Structure 1
Amino acid sequence: MKLGLIASSVAAMCVSLHAIAAPIKIVAAENFYGDVARQIGGSRVQVTSILSNPDQDPHLFEASPSVGKALANAKIVVYNGADYDPWMVKLLSASSGTSRQTIVVGELLQKKAGDNPHLWYEPDAMPAYARELASSLQSDDPSHAADYAKNLQTFLNALKPINDRIAAIKAKYAGTPVTATEPVFGYMAQALGLAMRNEKFQLAVMNDTEPSASDVAAFEGDLKSHHVHLLFYNSQASGGAAQRMRDLALKVGVPVVGVTETAPAGKAFQAWVLDELNAVEKALAKGSR
């Protein structure tokens, strides 16, 4: 009888230990990928997001020793790719973690260096990433595969309001000429059917070079003549020529919508994108009067 009780106690302890197993450690280069990881993994994951400050210029980021430590202990690592966060490649090559899985969103979308790297504004990006992450979690933790599948479906369902808003804006404003200081919102602008102008200027700013005099003149002409109905401005990492265009837009009355490369603190990916789409819709209504 005592042996039976002991065996039952040991079994109960094993079940208890299994229930409190250490969470799967995920490191995301950007906080919006980290947010989606929390939504898919729930309480079974521990997520560290490296770029998480919306007031920080991501192009000036320098990794601290704590980032290397987090990567060494991670089971799953996520980063953007397409040469947006090349520091991650360097950190991973120097890290000792060998059993981890790596998800590169750019590779999922078949994007490469030279393509617009702001992939999170591509409507197909997050569903592709979420599915890949759910698959990785199921591989690492098959006993909870059903939970990850359920969380994935919940996340995909939560994207419907975004897709509905995109469709509504496109139906009303497709073909509207707009401009931007950088191609941050480029994929989303394309999904909305907007006619983007001054792309050479945008690429110069993104690549930290000075736009040509002719590109500056063309941009200024679009604003002064109100040929464009909206200016997208990178409110997180802009200066110089981009700042001058923003100031000119405000002076001549062209609506300006600030977009960022990092999600606001504490805001889910879906809420962040919906807020920006709401701002775009409001600005287009004003600029098209």
Structure 2
Amino acid sequence: MVFMPIFPRALGLLLGIGSLLLLAACGAVTGTGSDGSRPGQLRIVASFYPFQFVAERVAGSHATVESLTKPGAEPHDLELTPKQVGSVTDADLVVYEQHFQAAVDEAVAQSGNQNVLDTTSVVPLQDHGPLGEDEHDDHDHAGNANLDPHVWLDPNNMIKITDAVADKLTKIDPDHAADYHKNVGALDADLRQLDDSYREGLKTCQRTEFVTSHAAFGYLAERYGLQQISISGLSPDNEPSPARIAEVQHQISKYDVTTIFYETLASPAVAQSIARDLGLRTDVLDPIEGITEQSRGTNYLAVMKSNLTALEKANGCS
């Protein structure tokens, strides 16, 4: 019998193939899913960042959380890919706000998924009305013209949403109920502390009026005794009319406003133009619809604290 020698290069190739096969076999047993989840983990889909933040804090290591709105994207006009629609169908829990993102509403309705949390069931949307005497927001937010979707900017609303997410997870995954209760307690404590900071920080100010690029801060203003003056409507896509800009300029003069706020996910051009014409300063007031490199903080709590600092400075609070 003649033995053929195995050359080093061929031997290395055989060993490499063997290693790949071994890794593949291990992955089949202990690997992660295409969404990054591990065996036994829940898959949660959140419509956009604030609900992603809550779900991640409450679920901890027991779930992977996917946001349908990618970082840096404007959530008001979200369009879903077929893969994202499939994620809504397959998710163990979907957290979203009805009437805010029409594409998400449609995907949830078509999915047949029963494990969903519509946050309007725990925090009903409020009608914050017209933006001026003759100026109304014409962006219908899925047919609800003046319903303000920005509930997450009031920490008290976030507590209600946090508790509702925990209740859902406890029913879906009762084996980890103790962990969910522990996590929700920690997040609720953080949110209550944030609320206390806002109450204390905005208690004594030279003025209560503040000017924003779009009407995202109605819940925050109502909670802490402020008055929001918005250049645009409930959606940053709205172009303000000349009459609206004139009205904003009048209110700026009337209330001796020193600062015009803009945001990171929408164009600051109009806000900067008004500020330049009137000799005012500009600053960021973030509606926290997403976290990017430009955000003044790495998570919801940090950006909310940055917003508080900006409001205190602009309104002369002590």
Give, in angstroms, the shift of residue 210 of structure 1: 4.3
Alignment equivalent of 1:103, drawn from 114, 117, 125: 117
Aligned partners of 1:184 and 1:234 also within 8 Å: no
State the alpha-carbon separation in 1 of the partners of residues 210 and 255 from structure 2: 10
1:65 to 2:91 alignment: no
The alignment partner of 1:179 has SS state of: strand
Identity score, percent? 24
The alignment partner of 2:155 has SS state of: coil
Gaps of 5+ in 1: 1-19
Alignment equivalent of 1:235, drawn from 238, 245, 264: 264
Give, in angstroms, the shift of residue 104 of structure 1: 1.2
Aligned match of 1:140: 172
1:267 to 2:283 alignment: no
Aligned partners of 1:246 and 1:256 also within 8 Å: no
Alignment equivalent of 2:248, drawn from 208, 219, 224: 219
Give, in angstroms, the shift of residue 174 of structure 1: 7.5
AA aligned to 2:70 is S
1:38 to 2:56 alignment: yes
State the alpha-carbon separation in 1 of the partners of residues 206 and 159 from structure 2: 24
AA aligned to 2:109 is S
Aligned partners of 2:46 and 2:95 also within 8 Å: yes
The list of structure 1 runs, each at least 4 consecutive aligned residues, that deviate by more than 6 angstroms after superposition, is none
AA aligned to 1:91 is A
TM-score by length of 2: 0.72
The alignment partner of 1:78 has SS state of: strand
Alignment length (residue pairs): 259
Distance 1:188 1:230, change over 3 A: farther
Deviates more, 1:173-182 or 1:63-72: 173-182
Aligned partners of 2:202 and 2:312 also within 8 Å: no
The alignment partner of 1:124 has SS state of: helix
Give, in angstroms, the shift of residue 21 of structure 1: 5.1
Give, in angstroms, the shift of residue 219 of structure 1: 1.4
Alignment equivalent of 2:270, drawn from 231, 239, 244: 244
Matches within 5 A, 1:8-27: 22-27=40-45
Task: After superposition, give the CA deviation of every residue in 1:237-269 in whole Å (9 maximum; x if it has no partner).
Answer: 246xxx323322145124433324423159232
Distance 1:261 1:156, change over 3 A: closer
Matches within 5 A, 1:106-121: 106-111=120-125, 113=144, 114-121=146-153
State the alpha-carbon separation in 2 of the partners of residues 136 and 218 from structure 1: 45
State the alpha-carbon separation in 2 of the partners of residues 130 and 119 from structure 1: 13
The alignment partner of 2:159 has SS state of: helix
1:277 to 2:308 alignment: yes
The alignment partner of 1:184 has SS state of: coil
Task: After superposition, give the CA deviation of every residue in 1:75-113 in whole Å (9 maximum; x if it has no partner).
Answer: 1101122x2112111112232x53x41111122112263
Give, in angstroms, the shift of residue 74 of structure 1: 0.2
TM-score by length of 1: 0.79
Aligned partners of 1:234 and 1:260 also within 8 Å: yes
The alignment partner of 1:66 has SS state of: helix
The alignment partner of 1:26 has SS state of: strand
State the alpha-carbon separation in 2 of the partners of residues 48 and 261 from structure 1: 17
AA aligned to 1:90 is E
Give, in angstroms, the shift of residue 30 of structure 1: 0.7
Aligned partners of 2:51 and 2:95 also within 8 Å: yes
Q: Which protein is bigger by CA-based radius of gyration?
A: 2
The alignment partner of 1:256 has SS state of: strand
Alignment equivalent of 2:157, drawn from 108, 125, 130: 125
Aligned partners of 1:28 and 1:34 also within 8 Å: yes
Q: CA RMSD in A?
A: 2.7
The alignment partner of 2:161 has SS state of: helix
Distance 1:206 1:84, change over 3 A: same
Distance 1:144 1:183, change over 3 A: same
